[in-house]
Amino acid sequence: MKILIENEIYPIELLQEVFDDPKFYKQNGLEGSITSVGYYHSFEKNSLVFMIPKVFMRDKDKTVFGCTKNELVNLIENESIKHKTQYNWVRQLSVHFYNSLTEFKKRYNQTSIIHNSETFELNTNLGDKEYSFLDLLLSFVNFYKKNKQQILFKHIEFVSNQAKKPKWEKTIRKSLPILLNGKTPIYTEIRNKKKIINNEEELLTYFFSILNRLNKQHNLNLKIDKSYNLIEGIPFERLCRNGSSKLRKIKHRYFNDTLRKMYVLCDLYFSQFDKSSIKRKKEDFLAINNYNLVFEDMVDKLFSDKLITLEVDGITIEKLKNNDDGKIIDHIYDYKSLIDTSNIFYIGDSKYYKSNNNADKVSKYKQFTYAKNIIQFNIDLLNKKGENNIGNLRYRDGITEGYNISPNFFIYGYINDVSDYEQHSIVKKKETIPSFHFKERLFDRDTLFVHQYKINFLYVLKAYTNFNESEIKDFRKEIKDTFRNHFLDFFNNKEECGFEFYESKLPTEEYKTFVNQNFKKLNGKCFCTIDNKLLLAKHKDDSELEELLAYFKKIDALQ
């Protein structure tokens, strides 16, 4: 198995050695760069390749695995390390990574991440119900690990049934027993005058011969009991060519579920070499040239609830997630506002970069556009249907004409520990990205702040296929609270956000008159909450509000 990294450059000789088809890389002279992310297997070249995402690159030449990209190519085939436990991540990564691609293949026709206008291609020659070579390899390994005790018992039973008039003295002297529970000896080879061949042993021989070949070819590090008969070398090559016909001759003998499953696995393997089989392929692959869409869908499956039903003139909030102008909101969910008991939309964008990279200017501008589209949708909803028909969502306040704070975030995939699949390790980056027309006006529709987060890519990779609905629900609750609390911490820190908050001491019925009389000074700086509190956000550089502070009391912290 070879491991290549997206967008990285490799010698063209290496790429031609493992690929039958050049569509997975772009050649430039004597070098080529990987253009896809995915899985590839060639039956003719006997090559198994993973093209993993660029998030596994740390810097120019170093990977997150502590080796260079060129060292990574043959890492699992390196005799000096292939049995070391610290490199178990290679096999674990291959399973989770492949499972994520097959999950996306199932989901991508339904996911809202993909827009019709996007240049998008999911390359595969696998039908919905077809196995890939890797599916087959993993099935052999999993079946063996799950059933090896039962298979060994069947083998011993078969061997015992062959014995007629056993010679126990010769058996004990010439054979090595298996100790059951460290005490009871079981002899798998019984010496006798005459043996009756039990043809059921043929299936076990085929199965373990195939498993042995896979074990050696792909360095699976499996321990196969030496009591099994194995076919190796040229006889195994011959078996591959006529294995399907040999299996058909013994098919009627198996009624045990374990043996029947074993038969199916052997049949699938041999069919790849049978020239008359319709299942035979030259290669199989599952790859994508826009892996950012896979990453966005992985994060979206974890983050986004089903959106509430809201509609204005036929336009729904779901429609805004995937705009006609090509703008796509990766993640959007409604959750508790930062300043009152209403709900507000939290808007997020997944950033698919190398582990140490940050969003560029274009990404920042796009995020502000997404937020303004959502705000406008809610204002249209308010204008069309009125305050009593928009539920618990509050964006604009009619008394102050101020706008609720709209939380935005970027989320980057990163890898810190290549063996950590259990901790999401969400970390807030220090830099908060602001956007405003007037820095003193927090409650203005053009004043927005984007927080930036890193999430463990390996956790997302595993959760995408392994999490059930209950686990996803728990994750969403935790993450929503985390994001909200980080925003609260930000706004409760005057030095960081620049604001401090006050609540009016006036009676509720006097709010409107007070705001009208001081509208120019309070414009964009005041907001009346859903629970009738008149809040004032004073910027540290704003001197116009000093005389009005007598009507307010300072708030220790937003909650």
pLDDT digits (tens, 9 = 90+) for 308-349: 556 555 556 666 666 555 556 778 888 899 998 888 888 888
Q: Which phi and psi angles does 376 have, rounded to 5°?
A: -65, -40
Q: Based on the domain organization, do 115 and 146 belong to the same domain?
A: no
- Of 493, 510, 539, which residue constitutes the final position of a domain? 493
Give 79's DSSP letter.
T
Beta strands in 279-430 (DSSP E): 283-288, 311-312, 315-316, 331-336, 343-351, 407-414, 427-428
Number of domains the chain is built from: 3
Out of 16-25, 360-369, 465-474, pick the least confident.
Answer: 360-369
Among 102-111, 250-259, 293-302, 533-542, top mean pLDDT goes to 533-542
Most confident of 204-218, 375-389, 469-483: 469-483
Residues 120 and 137 in one domain: no
Q: How far apart are CA 82 and CA 396, in angstroms?
A: 61
Average pLDDT score over the chain: 79
What pLDDT is recorded for position 255?
65
pLDDT over threshold 50, residue 358: yes
pTM: predicted TM-score of the whole model, two decimal places: 0.73
* Assigned domain for 202 exists: yes
Same domain, 140 and 103: no
| Predicted confidence band of residue 491 (pLDDT cuts 50, 70, 90) | very high
pLDDT, residue 128, reads 54
**Are residue 431 and residue 449 in the same domain, yes or no?**
yes
Question: How many CB atoms lie under 10 A from the CB of residue 365?
Answer: 11
User: Both 137 and 109 in a single domain?
Assistant: no
> What interhelical angle do 89-107 and 457-466 show, nearest 10?
60
Domain-embedded: residue 498 = no
Range from 16-25, 245-254, 532-541 carrying the lowest mean pLDDT:
245-254
Residues 33 and 96 in one domain: yes
Report for 111-115, 324-328, 373-377, 455-459: range of highest mean pLDDT? 455-459
pLDDT higher than threshold 80 for residue 90: no
pLDDT of residue 412 exceeding 80, the answer is: yes
In this structure, the answer to whether residues 142 and 72 fall within a common structural domain is no
| Mean predicted confidence (pLDDT) in 220-241 | 81
pLDDT of residue 485: 93
Residues 117, 138 within the same domain: no
Average pLDDT over residues 537-541: 91
In this structure, is residue 298 part of a structural domain?
yes
Q: What is the pLDDT of residue 81?
A: 41
166 domain residue, yes or no: yes
Tell me, yes or no, whether 240 and 169 share the same domain.
Answer: yes
Q: Do 223 and 323 belong to one domain?
A: no
Q: What is the mean predicted confidence (pLDDT) over 177-198?
A: 64
Greater confidence (389 vs 469) lies with 469
Q: Are residues 87 and 158 in the same domain?
A: no
Q: pLDDT-derived band of residue 119, with 50, 70 and 90 as boundaries?
A: very low
Among 92-96, 190-194, 279-283, 292-296, name the one with the lowest average pLDDT.
Answer: 190-194
Q: Taking residues 5-33, report their average pLDDT.
A: 89
The single-letter code of the amino acid at 380 is D
Of residues 164 and 208, more confidence is placed in 208
Higher pLDDT, 66 or 441: 441
User: How large a percentage of the chain has pLDDT more than 90?
Assistant: 16
- pLDDT score of 251 more than 50: yes
Distance CA 397, CA 377 (A): 15
More confident residue, 274 or 213: 213
Q: Cα separation of 455 and 540, whole Å?
A: 33
Higher pLDDT, 522 or 377: 522
Please tell me the predicted confidence (pLDDT) of residue 112: 46
Query: What pLDDT, on the 0 to 100 scale, is given for residue 505?
Result: 93
Query: What stretches of 325-360 show up as alpha helix (H) in DSSP?
Result: none
The C-alpha atoms of residue 485 and residue 498 are separated, in whole angstroms, by 18
More confident site: 82 or 231: 231
Domain boundary among 473, 493, 513: 493
Which of 26-40, 237-251, 253-267, 288-302 is least confident?
Answer: 253-267
Sequence-distant (≥ 6) Cβ neighbours of residue 121 within 8 angstroms: 288, 289, 290
Counting residues of the chain whose pLDDT is more than 70, the rounded percentage is 77
Residue 351 placed within a domain: yes
Choice between 404 and 376, residue whose per-residue pLDDT is larger: 404
Nearest partner of 144 among 88, 91, 208, 98, judged by Cα: 208
Residue 142 in domain: yes
Place 11 in a pLDDT band, splitting at 50, 70 and 90.
Answer: very high
Q: Is residue 525 part of a domain?
A: no
Kindly report which listed range (180-194, 462-476, 484-498) carries the lowest average pLDDT score: 180-194
Instruction: Inform me whether the pLDDT recorded for 97 exceeds 70.
Output: yes
> Where does a domain end: 478, 493, 508?
493
- Indicate whether 458 belongs to any domain: yes
- Residue 271, CA atoms < 13 Å, CB-side half-sphere: 17
Average pLDDT rounded to a whole number, residues 517-528: 92
Residues 8 and 78 in one domain: yes
Range of the domain at 353: 291-493
Residue 285 confidence (pLDDT) above 90:
no
